[in-house]
Amino acid sequence: MSGMSEVDPEVSSETFGFDYSDADPIAGSPLYDDTLTTLAVEELPVGGRTLLALSDGFFTIDRVPEFLGSPADPHGLHDDLVAQGMTPPRVPVGAFVWPGELNVLVDAGFGPRDGGGGIMVGGELRRNMARKGLGFDDIDIVALSHLHPDHTGWLADFEGNPLFVNARVVMGAQDWHHFMETDEAQLPIDGYVKRALMTLADQGRVDLLEGDVVVAPGITRLDGAGHTPGHSLYLVEDGGERAILFGDAMYCPQQLTEVDWIAGSDVDPRAAQRVRERYLRELDEGGGVGLGCHFPGLKGGRVLSGAWQSV
Ligand SMILES: [Zn+2]
């Protein structure tokens, strides 16, 4: 692994005018120490390497119709989590690190802020990375599944300065178009994140991807348009083993069997469903672990004859 170190104390208030190393909007929340969400830190061996799954915070699932469900079962995820005894029903805001010759971060959390009323709160990604000996400046590539706010929050400080100072950023080309060049997005990109991405693009540090393409040794971007127009999945492989990072194409493991559950935030629900079916079939036939950004505890699973088994 290259350049692993503790969090660089210089990347803080003196650099950005805001002390991100101390920003802790979750402090005081009962979910601060919650291992299903805020404190979810998992290591997943893939061949001779280790994928890190790291949370940035939590998202409590209100009983909002069709947030994640179907017309027949509009509160699907909420009711299922409650039935499992999870109070409050909640999911993590996940990101992943694939450390190696090039350290790749997949998704960038929600950032150190409260999205309103304590429903979605981020801010722990930096600390959870530090627990694994990684600072933001150790990241060489930030690979985004899509440009929704809970996947891009740490790209910039609130003034629009990029926070991954040594990294290139890669994403699906159609997401750049949808979020950066049109005002069509239902969930628009945050202004400060947009400014940082423009700065990075001006510096030649943004790669817009089409189709299936290798982004670094052992990690490939897979086309997964549906949740957003340029949504990406990422396949990590080593030594004949593999894992597929679903982004938000598969929001929760229940979608393996509840195939008609859609996310209210799916831009094209039918396309998102086809993406799920395609890659779940691939896991069933070819093996490997699947893992989404919002899976409880950030625990992956295998598909065995059409059934989900946590690993
Ligand atoms: Zn998300």
Q: Tens of pLDDT along 131-190?
A: 999 999 999 999 999 999 999 999 999 999 999 999 999 999 999 999 999 999 999 999
Measured in Å, residue 229 CA sits from the centre of ligand 1 at 14
DSSP per residue, 5-61: -S--TTSSHHHHSS-TTT--TTTT-TTTT-TTTTT-EEEEEETTEEEEEEEEEEEE-
Measured in Å, residue 52 CA sits from the centre of ligand 1 at 18
Measured in Å, residue 149 CA sits from the centre of ligand 1 at 8
194's enclosing H/E stretch is helix 191-202
Fold designation for 13-310? Metallo-beta-lactamase; Chain A (3.60.15)
Measured in Å, residue 218 CA sits from the centre of ligand 1 at 24
Measured in Å, residue 186 CA sits from the centre of ligand 1 at 14
Q: With beta carbons less than 8 A apart as the criterion, state whether 173 and 151 touch.
A: no
Measured in Å, residue 14 CA sits from the centre of ligand 1 at 31
Per-residue pLDDT tens digits for 88-143:
999 999 999 999 999 999 999 999 999 878 899 999 999 999 999 999 999 999 99
Per-residue pLDDT tens digits for 215-267:
999 999 999 999 999 999 999 999 999 999 999 999 999 988 887 898 888 89
Q: Distance between CA atoms of 189 and 160, rounded to whole angstroms?
A: 12
Measured in Å, residue 245 CA sits from the centre of ligand 1 at 12
Measured in Å, residue 151 CA sits from the centre of ligand 1 at 6
Measured in Å, residue 260 CA sits from the centre of ligand 1 at 18
Measured in Å, residue 110 CA sits from the centre of ligand 1 at 9
Measured in Å, residue 148 CA sits from the centre of ligand 1 at 7
Cβ count near 138 (within 10 Å)? 23
Q: Distance between CA atoms of 163 and 21, rounded to whole angstroms?
A: 12
